[in-house]
Structure 1
Amino acid sequence: MSDKLRCIELFCGCGGMSLGLKNAGFSVEFAADLEASAVATYNKNFERSATQADVNKLTPQQLLSIVDVERGELDLMSGGPPCQGFSKQRRGAHLLEDKRNFLIKDYVQLIDGVMPKAFILENVAVFGQKRGQAYLEELSAALHDEYYLNPNFYNSADFGLAQTRERFILVGIRRDIAGRFDAPKPSVKTWKTVKEAIGDLPPPPSDCSEHPNYPNHMTTRISEKNRLRFSFVPQGGGWKDIPWEHRLECHKVTDPKAGGWPDVYGRLSWDKQCPTITGGFDSFTRGRYGHPEQNRALTPREAARLQGFPDWFVFAGNRHQVRHQIGNAVPPPLAQAIGESIKTALAGGGTAQESVTTTASQFSLAI
């Protein structure tokens, strides 16, 4: 096997997966995404540019031609089809004909046409549960004759992030490859804390401009009324800590004992981890995204650190675009761990057996 492991990444977003795979020793020869701002960010940070393209309009023949390989020669194809169609926040979304859900089928067809030695399919954790069952069974039926299929759930905190983000990642290793995929074991014994991740960052400018020494370190505007509300919330607290007279009207009629979105107006704790970073991290009204000490939400740079991005990685676009790029990204340290295990398999190593999962019925282990 050549020392140069060649990879195609589809639905590349801003480049979280690509950065991790690059650190694992892969050369991403072609990357594509439909979102222009994400492609702009990708091209700011990588020597090899991404292409703005609609993945469901690409053909296997085009991909093979672009990378200049024959069918079966590519080392790795990676893709994370947009996951909003499976979001827990959209009740019944998996039952809707959300066109984003069908991108998974398009991706499987590209895998079948390119026949890489290995592939990655990454998605939200609920995709590996009941909501994604039908798609997983179809995928297994289409590919299990050619690939050993290895579905696993990963907690990002196990791989050096101060974030308990869970993802479902399916790795396929072609059956004629001598090696097998071993799911990477946690790289840390103790989870990193929020303070370890962002505690050294200075406060962002008060005028919402970007910090001169830290790209994308800026805060969003907040009303004085909301700032006052949030000032009453201690570390680890939420809307229930806001005095009655300052609460939102909807919170005045909500029974605190009933639960009801406890993370709204939530403040992070220095000595703990943050929940999943989403595209709404710049507002503590959307979840537990309040700074542990300062009366504001996380900045894009803080969120990027919590996602495992280095400070040199710069995000392009307006605030809405940047926060969604960060929230949708695959944490680079997790991607690197997956990439290193695939690299071992392609080199003939690994000990995982076929029984991990090879047929549609065996996906019940992950559902």
Structure 2
Amino acid sequence: MSYSVSYSTFMNMPFEEAENGKLAPKSAVASGSSTSGQKSQLLLLDLYSGCGAMSTGLCLGANLSGLSLQTRWAVDFNPHACESLKFNHPETEVRNELAQDFLAVLREWERLCQKFGFVNEDVSPEVDSSDDDEGPYEASKGSPGEFEVGKIVDMCYGETSNVKEVGLKFKVRWKGYGPKDDTWEPIEGLGKCEERIRDFVRRGYNKNILPLPGTVDVICGGPPCQGISGFNRFRNSEAPLQDEKNKQMVVYMEIIEFLKPRFVLMENVVDILKFAKGYLGRYALSRLVAMNYQARLGIMAAGSYGLPQFRMRVFLWGARPTEKLPQFPLPTHDVVIRGGGPVEFEHSVVAYEENQHRDLKKELLLYDAISDLPPVANDEMRDEMDYLTAPKTDFQKYIRLSREEVMNLLPEGERPSQKRKLLDHRPLRLNDDDYQRVCHIPKKKGANFRCLPGVMVGPENKVQWDPNVERVLLPSGKPLVPDYAMSFINGKSPKPFGRLWWDETVPTVVTRAEPHNQIILHPEQDRVLSIRENARLQGFPDFYKFFGPLKQRYMQIGNAVAVPVSRALGYALGQAVQRKGDDKHVFILPPDFPRTTQSDIID
């Protein structure tokens, strides 16, 4: 491999000695040894998937490049996020479990497939209507109190509702009973069910319900590293990987090592390059290289790819030696990146060189994203409603497209016949006191709790009480200006009960829709931004539906990878799979990206 400081890149040497003894381009040698180009569709595993933003964007971008990429498997521990992903991607095998338990299942699955002789064999699916039978089986004629296994329908390794011990378990459909009566049973208790287990493995192997080593084309994911958070008072800067809150980085790499995908894309917060001198970022990079993957690390700002938020994140590409290492797409929009990148990795910020020609679109503002959405109240309860106005900006026209239009599934010029509803346009309901406070915040740019009576701004931009103004109380008897707003960040922060404004770019979409310590109020309505407004700021198409309690939906969106960023990366992946482009670290996206061939700017 060669190494370049730019984007911390480890990649194949430009030349390698070919079989005839002459020097040949590495890409040509790799191309001759890889059969990957023959696949009509590539399969993706989304780890720590959340509601599926990263894989959604990757598949959209790959599709725009001419590559068919499908999210075949997804894993996340949050049941509500899994429900959202499954609804929006019904073709995906979604597993609600810990990543380390998923790895244990994969190892058991490989063992079972080998035991029953299915690995590396051409096993044709059998026509068996019972494979998808969700009804009860014929009642057992056994003795009263005895139950007979009808069939095995799933397997797992972690805790279940009825069995707390960790270990391999199978989900049993009992004879004479339906799916609601399924139970998880440890393998130790199924000693007489060898044939039932074999049938399950056969069906599962034919349906590809779990990946085997070498069957995954792409793994993406953002392993949580909560141990580096500034809110963690016990951060271990001397040995970060000894902190249980950082162990998912190790699990993520172990899954890669086991499955050996062709491509890897990891996402994480910029702090993995800051905390403990970038220990976790360096660990991830070195693990990939140690597994003989090419690797490239970049820092990307969401606003640079067509969103009205800055939001910087770290992305790490990995590619097998027989593949072309994907590049990073250069920005498409003229957004000034507000620092945030560690000095030691300044060569990894994805941006144009100072003297490089650029033809960038104007940055997007809050107005571009949400100005077409109908007004709603603090206590809005509807999950579906009508659009009341036509889209006002190109962003709104694109974000309103149907799934079929975005994926180019409609004949050219044809529009969807069904009128679409606006989903999830409801805010987290504020309690009465907070609602009263929000109603007192002026509807103007820069407004926040400092505009309320009794608050003065003194030296060093620090708030203090005005001794000449009596403290205003709410109907509940609590103060209009709470003490925590005055003391937040030593009284120097303007964030509590702050209003956003139409001509602003939002710093980042947050996971908690509470106005106590962040600027999240709608510019002209007395409420926090709605679920859909937050989703728009993350680039989720309007057809994407979210599930779970309101706080859970906000969390899914706030934790997500910005869809336009992952879409641009998906295009880069498609270019690499098709061996297009040069060996530079970055490339320029098409000028009309991400426009589809549909008439997507027609009202």
Do both share a fold (TM > 0.5)? yes
* Alpha-carbon distance change, 176 to 353 in structure 1, aligned in 2, over 3 angstroms: farther
Q: Deviations over 1:94-144 (max 9, x none)?
A: 647653310110000111121111101111121232357222333333221
For the aligned residues, what is the CA RMSD?
A: 2.6
**2:219 corresponds to 1:11:** no
User: Could you say what secondary structure the match of 1:152 adopts?
Assistant: strand
SS of alignment partner, residue 144 of structure 1: helix
Partners of 2:540 and 2:109 lie apart in 1 by: 28
1:200 aligns with 2:346: no
Amino acid at match of 2:223: P
Partners of 2:535 and 2:216 lie apart in 1 by 31
Tell me the distance in 2 between the aligned counterparts of 1:19 and 1:326: 13
Which residue of 2 is the match for residue 176 of structure 1? 322
The residue aligned with 2:482 is 248
1:137 pairs, out of 265, 282, 287, with 282
CA distance in 2, matches of 1:184, 1:131: 29
Larger CA deviation: 226-235 vs 159-168: 226-235
Give the superposition deviation at 1:166. Answer: 1.2
The number of residues matched between the two structures is 350
* SS of match in other structure, 1:289: strand
Contact 2:377-2:525 within 8 A present in 1 as well: no
Matches within 5 A, 1:214-253: 214-230=422-438, 231-233=440-442, 234-244=444-454, 245=471, 246-252=480-486
Q: Is the 8 Å Cα contact of residues 283 and 298 (structure 1) preserved in structure 2? A: no
* Number of the residue aligned with 1:362: none
The Cα offsets for residues 18-68 of structure 1, whole Å up to 9 and x where unpaired, read as: 211221232111111111111011111112231112111223546876467
Q: Give 1:326's match in structure 2, choosing from 540, 549, 557.
A: 557
Report how far residue 341 of structure 1 moved: 0.7
Within 1, Cα distance between the matches of 2:277 and 2:109?
27
Secondary structure of the 1:335 match is helix
Structure 2 counterpart of 1:222, one-letter code: L
**Residue pairs, 1:47-58, within 5 angstroms:** 47-49=90-92, 50-58=94-102
SS in 2 for 1:58: helix
Structure 1 residue 83: deviation in Å?
A: 4.0
Residues 1:109 and 2:254 aligned together: yes
Q: Read off the aligned partner of 1:28 and give its amino acid letter.
A: T
The structure 2 residue matched to 1:76, chosen from 210, 218, 221, is 218
Code of the aligned partner of 2:244: K
Q: Deviations over 1:288-311 (max 9, x none)?
A: 111011121111111111111111
Q: Which amino acid aligns with 1:195?
A: Y
In the alignment, structure 2 segments of 5+ residues that lack a partner are 1-36, 64-68, 111-204, 334-360, 386-421, 455-470, 472-479, 586-603
The letter of the residue matching 1:190 is: K
Q: Which moved more, 1:316-325 or 1:220-229?
A: 220-229
**Is residue 301 of structure 2 the alignment partner of residue 155 of structure 1?**
yes
Question: 2:109, 2:329 → 1: CA distance?
Answer: 29
Which stretch of the first structure deviates more once superposed, 141-150 or 334-343? Answer: 141-150
Matched, 1:23 2:60: yes
Q: TM-score scaled to structure 1, two decimals?
A: 0.86
Q: What is the SS of the residue equivalent to 1:167?
A: strand
TM-score where L is the length of structure 2? 0.54
2:524 matches 1:316: no
SS in 1 for 2:268: strand
CA distance in 2, matches of 1:299, 1:336: 24
CA spacing shift, 1:341–1:40, aligned 2, 3 Å? same
* In structure 2, distance between residues paired with 1:94 and 1:326: 29
CA distance in 1, matches of 2:46, 2:485: 44
Alpha carbons 1:264, 1:285 under 8 Å: kept? yes
Q: Deviations over 1:202-250 (max 9, x none)?
A: 1124533125413221123334543443333432333323322442224
Task: Find the aligned partners of 2:378 and 2:483 in 1 and give their Cα distance.
Answer: 29
The Cα offsets for residues 138-167 of structure 1, whole Å up to 9 and x where unpaired, read as 333322141221111111111111111111
Change over 3 Å in CA distance of 1:322–1:115 after alignment to 2: same
- Shift of the alpha carbon at 1:168? 1.0
Aligned-partner SS, 1:106: helix
* AA at the equivalent of 1:148: Q
Partner residue of 2:77 out of 17, 34, 44 = 34
Equivalent-residue separation in structure 2 for 1:336 and 1:219 (angstroms): 27
Matched, 1:300 2:541: no
Higher-Rg member (1/2): 2
As a proportion of its length, which structure holds more helix?
A: 1
Equivalent residues of 1:63, 1:114 under 8 A apart = no
3-state DSSP class of the match of 1:175? coil
Rate the CA distance shift 1:195–1:43 in 2: closer, same or farther, 3 A.
same
Query: In 2, are the aligned partners of 1:126 and 1:132 still within 8 Å (CA)?
Result: no
Shift of 1:315: 0.6
Residue of structure 1 in register with 2:395 after alignment: none
Counterpart Cα distance in 2 of 1:176 and 1:291: 50
Instruction: Provide the C-alpha distance between the structure 2 equivalents of 1:151 and 1:138, rounded to a whole number of angstroms.
Output: 12
Residue 210 of structure 1 corresponds to 382
Q: Report the equivalent of 1:45.
A: 88
Corresponding residue for residue 147 of structure 2: none
Structure 2 SS opposite 1:151? strand
For 1:359, the equivalent position in structure 2 comes to none
Q: Which amino acid aligns with 2:507?
A: P
Higher relative contact order (CA 8 A, sep 6+): 1
CA distance in 1, matches of 2:235, 2:369: 34
Q: Distance in 2 between matches of 1:113 and 1:101?
A: 20
Q: Quote the residue 1:357 is aligned against.
A: none
Aligned to 2:193: none
In structure 2, the CA distance between the partners of 1:286 and 1:105, relative to structure 1 (3 Å rule), is same
- Cα deviation, residue 88, structure 1: 4.0
Counterpart in the other structure of 2:412 = none
Deviations 1:237-288 (A, max 9, x none): 3332332244222445679xx76333221111101111211211x2222311
Cα 1:272–1:152 shift into 2, 3 Å: same
Alignment pair present for 1:187 and 2:335: no
Measure, in 1, the Cα distance between the counterparts of 2:57 and 2:108: 25
